Structure 1
Amino acid sequence: MGVNVTDPALQRIVDRVQSAQAANAQLCIRGGGTKDFYGEVPQGEWLDTTVLEGISSYEPTELVITARCGTLLADVEAALAENGQCLPFEPPRFAPGGTLGGMVAAGLAGPARAAVGSVRDFVLGATLLNGRSEVLSFGGQVMKNVAGYDVSRLLVGSLGTLGVILEVSLKVLPVAPATATLRFRMSEATALARLNEWAGQPLPINASAWWSGTLMLRLRGAHAAVEAAVRSLGGERISPALADPFWSGLRDQRDDFFLHAHEAVEAGQALWRLSVPPTTPPLGLPGEQMVEWGGGQRWLLSDAPVGQVRNAMIQAGGHAILFRAQDKSTGVFAPLRSPLDRIHRELKKAFDPAGLFNPGRMYPGL
């Protein structure tokens, strides 16, 4: 893989980076801007990546698609849908205009993450413009090309701090032939116990969500497997007309919980994204919670002190991200300990020695 280095759109981006180097300026890499809220407050002059767009290649029979960074996520998914394929990790679409580069840089996945894997698991290769204005390619378009340290996957979740992601190759999957959604009324503790019990069984569980006394469970796979699981698990089967909008709203954070959360954040509360071992019991933190990923991801809407939330995560063996908040002065991501802090800073120095890209978007100095 690799973008055409003579492409005028790419040359405009390279020229912009070289101008910033000469002026000792800093750049904020930005595609559709749909994730500006995520991470620390963006800083630097805008570097527009939407000029570099288009699907470079797509081989449905090979289950691989390659596209440039400014390509709309909606366009990628539309092309896949025409061939009965999808991005199975369900990247959130917080608003229209999200791009493929932004999807990879943020590294966020939707309801199916625990069942199918993360964004990182589906990245086969990437082309990057580093802080020295060098165009570098990593990985390839097939899994066997990945050997040694896989830099392309390192870019996932880096929030643009290592360079401009120019092009990405992704593994895709066929849409499952059958889907069913079940609803159960139960407490958080009971839901967690059931989810962990079911995780040890050969069930086609694709997604789960618990909130306010209700557990929603999505099954996906072969028709026979899904129907057998429906009979085995019980619960109330929800029609696709109601279930599909629920899962889509959960993926894009437009369902009732997140709509309420957005209003509460405007009023001064914080929305935390908590990552814990799935077997962790109810956390007992003040506020409202939604539980996803079989118990592994928990959303907390609360006005609890930052220290209380972070200490609870340390005790649970997890970590907390301040996902949405009016005040981010306490830091968005959990503080890094040595040697992770040193590794992050050395990587930043190797890819972006002058600190051009997305300064401080993750941590001070990164």
Structure 2
Amino acid sequence: MTKHPDFDLPALVALRRDLHAHPELGFEEHRTAALVAERLRALGLEVTTGIAGTGVVGTLRGTGRAIGLRADMDALAMPESSGKPWASTVPGQMHACGHDGHTSMLLGAAEVLAAAPPGITVHFIFQPAEEGRGGAKAMVEAGLFQQFPCDMVFGLHNMPGLACDEMAVVPGPQLASSDSWTLTLRGEGTHGAKPHLGRDPIPAAGMFLAALQTVTGRIVDPLQPAVVSACSLRAGDPKALNVIPDVVEIGGTARAYTPLVRDQLEEGIGRLAHGIAAAQGLEAEYTFIRRIPPVVNEASATQVALAAARRALPKVRTEFPPSTAGDDFAFFAGEAPGCYVWLGNGPAQDGALHHNTGYDFNDAALPSGVAFWVALAREAAS
């Protein structure tokens, strides 16, 4: 590799691989945050650390409009099987979603913009704990947007299957809400040979699971995407196969793109749970936990991002299907007009999609990501 005309690409690749080799889970990104802060200070940016624990913001001051550019820093609690020389050195932890690449690209953009400022204020936001631990919400609650007001905020995520010089910038829903639900069916345990002497929660659990998809199939408008999945089931003891248990515990996830459908899922699962419990003479304890709102791109921010993508890359898609995955960037977009874009990560070789043990961020995407962030700052200033 040769030195990129605007930033040191080999150094950025080395940084990305170093981050990949040293993954840290949400709110534990101490090494990563220190490295990020050190590099931002070396560029002459104002640096604030310790936001929601391990969050970092680097600010390049200008006049007029202020924008926020977000990169997530955390890894996942899973082993790595990629076999790369820079594979994770931490057992049971790996960068399986490309946050090492996201962090590196934003640092590369900071390098370019610090050398040739766009004129506006740019807040480089390095977020902890995107992977389900609530980092964005924690940063917002810690006063992120009071301390660093933004007229617009932007997020970027790599997407295997798109070319490394290709982006997708689409208005409207990009990612679904990500909510959790739990149900405890409580009966009365008894001998397995004398079920009439108790109140068996297991048949009720079967009825509930069999009917669960009627929530999406018969309550939600068929033209509105929605997902309800049961992902956990606990009952009885395999070492006591003649005992009907007192309790069955079920849990899962619910996904939607609109507040209405989100409400319908919460109400529909609960109504089904309580109805079946009542019919079987059981008690039902139901909770629906709203974790992450949907990511919905705002029109004006999307126009800025689209113009920047077309300036920076040769291939830009304006149609791309939304994902039923979630991203807590939604909390940032709830504070300022936001846009979330997709950057190609090349072919998904050997099944190495996001959250796969064989996944590795594609270093060939680094220049594209840097170019987009730089173009975005300049487009927002125009």
TM-score range, shorter chain: under 0.3
TM-score by length of 1: 0.26
Could you say which structure has the greater relative contact order, defined with CA pairs below 8 angstroms and 6 or more residues apart? 2
Question: What is the TM-score with the length of structure 2 in the denominator?
Answer: 0.25
Task: Mark the structure with the bigger radius of gyration.
Answer: 2
